[in-house]
Structure 1
């Protein structure tokens, strides 16, 4: 373990001032980018990052906008340092890159601008800004190419070392070359300039800081900050039991075939070190779901940081506490010509989910209550996207990358529900665009934008709900639509008995009467629309025509629950029902709550309903008994005074006598794992999830089955685990 230099003469107050100054600088860089950009992807949704690095590529400070750019930004700087070697560089230079294979970008639209920082003649660091630019060329507008079979079809590829500004002036030949290959050159160049403005802000503020404190003290403080961050993270890792943990996730549909691609990880924890080994993941594919190594590292960090380093100032020290290994040529570390334009939002998001599973399992076995409380339901993640491109009625070409796709639900926590429309785990500052802003900038008109109540994973604490919205064209006759809904069938797992969340998808309602509704003075809603056809789109699909009077509907996945739903406070269920977060059927069938007056009537439930405490207790006992085929009187009772009775820390525990269910004390065996002692059921996933009140796409395959596995305590009927599993033809044989 790296330890703090005990004899450092650094004043701790000045150390913290410099540390916070660096954080403020990267935040101010982001503000400069927002104020100078004309793209709603940056200004409305915050899809960017800013950072400062030392001369070798170690992170001084990183902004809290999109965390998986931690990996892509770091790799971009490291590769730039390697490429330029001893070549001369000057103040005012700036380098551009976006190639995932050679510069670590998450995908081609995520474009890096990296500028050197000089104090006098000495190179003291790099300013780095990265943002999703609306179009980067390639076969489809917007930079996502479901139809691509190789990376050469996806975008213009800029490797590290391409100088876009030379001593403060644009390199005109490079500018013209790039703009000749993108569909919206004016917007692209303005965003490049906004990234330059961001870097210039960072350079100016950092040099002011060095002038104030001196270069020697600055270097010593940053070195010490690295050590302190590493020390804190390693100390928390030490509270997790040593061992080897394994988990897997599955990427759906590669753009060409509706197959499943494995993301496997083995986590080895020893002392204050964690190693993540992705050996066993699927080979790279010819579809656009391959995850670059930069995105892999960033996706791992996206889960590690909020779980183990939630309050640690982010710098290089956080990253040194874990190692990431992946086979070259795999879906999580591909090589050319693998296409890669959606790998970060599909396979990369599955990486964050599998790391969440591993750390939740490990944290749930800790004796430290703070670490124990970091376990959680899996986040929905896996961005559900829609990109519209066409010419409006004023003959202006436009590309709408709709950032409403960030409205997915978070996983539930041990003490509270998951956030609704939280974004991906990596989006610390997730923002959704204003309806009015999208309608002002693009020829679309929203019909609705609301919570998707078919999405949340139920539990003692409920997973966050996703978003549902619909729009029709207003000011254009037709657009070409690209969609991707990678969280459609293999949905987010719950934890400690929490149930999986619902999935994502798109449908097009053809030739609707939406315009008639507006003419009649009402906003059309789904239940009142008339249409000629209801077209469910593929998980990934491009070149879908959307015409005037068609309606595009998009629904987004929810997070996994935490704890058995029968442990949820009945009053919380009643409140959810009144507020229409759950339906009466879910309140009764999943949560076992009986309300008085009768809650079975259709329509909105009035606030006057109250929980029938005795009937609810009896119904919950009946449900538990049915789970394990026992008579209600033969069950062990739930200890209502125990925190697990309300879902808190309800994962199975281990003591000197073996495993037990914390809600009742029921014993679960003495082996290395408790699962073999549980009552196990396997049910086709789409069917079982529908019974649980959530929507997921049904997979049709001759080679594997998608199932929901539920594990129950045999003596008390408590649900201890619920997850989506894959049963292959070989396993069934």
Structure 2
């Protein structure tokens, strides 16, 4: 035992080591997973909590999980702790969307023990390619209840004191379309948690329980102190915003959402009262996802550089009535939850952008633009399911153009699947992956450009689903800048010598045949400032890069260019 090592230098070393454990867990999962959505896209997150479920360190691919690791652990403690049923060697599994996002995001948690005492949990949450349900890939705008969206796994043990509960894995395998890949990702999650547990125990062995407890408490206090300092720098008062979600996937009217923000030197209070009630279609999400959304934008407004932990969010207060689109309850469908979760972030962003022009941009692509293509591989005849998020444009800022071709705020440090891997693994041909020059995002500083991504179908038949929010309500401009362009999917069918085109915002299991092309189109971000103030040099540069045409330059910037 080394409990005497509680000096400030040791404490700093321990705190940084805890953060490093999260990073090592993250790498371990990427290196051992079987699905491109994990090892290429990095659609997962890992972390450590205290024995009480307070977040200590988190390794993020997707920022949407920022409020969910600790929520899962607290549910485990509540459900199993009172019975004394949390033991060394246990592994818990859950995909309960009302404590998370949607059924595709499966979480694994491993309790960590040192000398017989529970000292923490290692957790990861990752997107599985398929968890069953009415549509390949397990999300579709067509669902109207959670039972259509896949296999529900309530929080339970899947490994009991080191013994794998094989019937549970057999049940999962029998209900999903890609059991080899998904169970491979399950074991990758187990391995990542084992790395976290081993490293945390090593720290306990080296420094002792007293020093470790002090360091964990100190890390939480450090997060609180750093955020408190930044909070004093924010503008004070009440700020409000409203917006409209396209629809719920069932053809219903647009849904109004709103926020009221109250900032003082000590607290950051957000209130979503007045937002639309729980919807029939799958755009809903639970309260835990709302917490994650608000945490993400709160971190961006204060100090995005310090490692995330529970202390960072002590000043945050979130208010929302039950059974809204932000706080849905069972059996509400939730498979395209991101369309609403990102509005929770974007509303705060919109309310604060012009008050914090050095920190926030105009509106961005917002939607994950998640796309699923289900087909037969033309060479092997095997079933394949391509799932990936898409990049789009970010809004302009008060002093510069927006970023081109970036993931939405939900996806954080994620990536697209390389073209070569998509073509080889899924048997499609990608004919175009390029920035586009559709109307939108004009301003003194223009919004970042969205993309065209064209898939040509090479097998006899296939189908696709997706959810492309901001199809009807494009990204907002700031300080007189123009709105961005829309997200959508265009299907170009081959009918002999004649092409026919179909445009969708929320396609569900749309049938395709060999030679058809599905074009994914993502938004250009909103502009900032009066377009007439854009400089000649910047317009010339846009023309050179094909970001705009001469006709667009004449139409939006009132410059004497001849139409093409």
TM-score tier by shorter-chain length is: over 0.9
- Within the candidate set 338, 344, 352, 1:359 is matched to 352
> Which secondary structure does the structure 1 equivalent of 2:431 belong to?
strand
Q: Map 1:262-661 onto structure 2 (within 5 A).
A: 262-343=256-337, 345-361=338-354, 363-364=355-356, 373-393=358-378, 394-401=380-387, 403=388, 405-454=389-438, 457-474=441-458, 476-511=459-494, 531-537=498-504, 539-593=505-559, 599-600=561-562, 602=564
Q: What do residues 291-320 of structure 1 show as CA deviations (whole Å, max 9, x unaligned)?
A: 221211111122121221222221111111
- Within the candidate set 93, 97, 117, 2:112 is matched to 117
- Hey, what's the Cα distance between the residues in 1 that align with 2:523 and 2:6? 49
1:226 positional shift? 1.5
Aligned to 1:720: none
Tell whether the 8 Å contact from 2:554 to 2:563 is kept in structure 1 after alignment: no
Q: What do residues 652-697 of structure 1 show as CA deviations (whole Å, max 9, x unaligned)?
A: xxxxxxxxxxxxxxxxxxxxxxxxxxxxxxxxxxxxxxxxxxxxxx
1:177 positional shift? 1.3
1:63 positional shift? 1.2
Aligned to 1:25: 21
* Alignment partner of 1:53 is 2:37: no
> Which secondary structure does the structure 2 equivalent of 1:503 belong to?
coil
> Which secondary structure does the structure 1 equivalent of 2:325 belong to?
coil
Q: Map 1:157-172 onto structure 2 (within 5 A).
A: 157-160=152-155, 162-172=156-166
* Alignment partner of 1:99 is 2:96: yes
- Hey, what's the Cα distance between the residues in 2 that align with 1:452 and 1:240? 36
Tell whether the 8 Å contact from 2:439 to 2:552 is kept in structure 1 after alignment: no
> Which secondary structure does the structure 2 equivalent of 1:310 belong to?
coil
> Which secondary structure does the structure 1 equivalent of 2:396 belong to?
coil
Q: What do residues 319-364 of structure 1 show as CA deviations (whole Å, max 9, x unaligned)?
A: 1121111111111001112111111x20011111101112324x34
Q: 1:30 to 1:510 in 2, by over 3 A?
A: same
1:601 positional shift? 6.5
- Within the candidate set 46, 64, 69, 1:68 is matched to 64
1:455 positional shift? 6.2
> Which secondary structure does the structure 2 equivalent of 1:540 belong to?
coil
Tell whether the 8 Å contact from 2:245 to 2:257 is kept in structure 1 after alignment: yes
Q: Normalising by structure 2, report the TM-score.
A: 0.95
> Which secondary structure does the structure 2 equivalent of 1:332 belong to?
coil
> Which secondary structure does the structure 1 equivalent of 2:197 belong to?
helix
- Hey, what's the Cα distance between the residues in 1 that align with 2:92 and 2:515? 45
Q: 1:406 to 1:17 in 2, by over 3 A?
A: farther
> Which secondary structure does the structure 1 equivalent of 2:278 belong to?
coil
- Hey, what's the Cα distance between the residues in 1 that align with 2:113 and 2:509? 48
- The unaligned stretches of length 5 or more in structure 2 are none
Which structure: larger Rg?
Answer: 1
> Which secondary structure does the structure 1 equivalent of 2:70 belong to?
helix
Q: CA RMSD in A?
A: 2.0
Q: 1:601 to 1:567 in 2, by over 3 A?
A: closer
Q: Map 1:187-206 onto structure 2 (within 5 A).
A: 187-206=181-200
1:467 positional shift? 1.6
1:229 positional shift? 1.7
- The unaligned stretches of length 5 or more in structure 1 are 1-8, 365-371, 514-529, 603-733
Aligned to 1:672: none
Tell whether the 8 Å contact from 2:96 to 2:154 is kept in structure 1 after alignment: yes
- Within the candidate set 204, 210, 214, 1:210 is matched to 204
Tell whether the 8 Å contact from 1:406 to 1:432 is kept in structure 2 after alignment: yes
> Which secondary structure does the structure 2 equivalent of 1:541 belong to?
coil
> Which secondary structure does the structure 1 equivalent of 2:480 belong to?
coil
Q: Map 1:1-12 onto structure 2 (within 5 A).
A: 11-12=7-8
Tell whether the 8 Å contact from 2:50 to 2:216 is kept in structure 1 after alignment: no
1:11 positional shift? 4.6
Q: Which has the higher mean CA deviation after the structures are superposed, 83-92 or 147-156?
A: 83-92
Q: Which has the higher mean CA deviation after the structures are superposed, 167-176 or 12-21?
A: 12-21
Q: 1:510 to 1:21 in 2, by over 3 A?
A: same
Tell whether the 8 Å contact from 1:94 to 1:115 is kept in structure 2 after alignment: yes
- Hey, what's the Cα distance between the residues in 1 that align with 2:140 and 2:520? 19
Aligned to 1:724: none
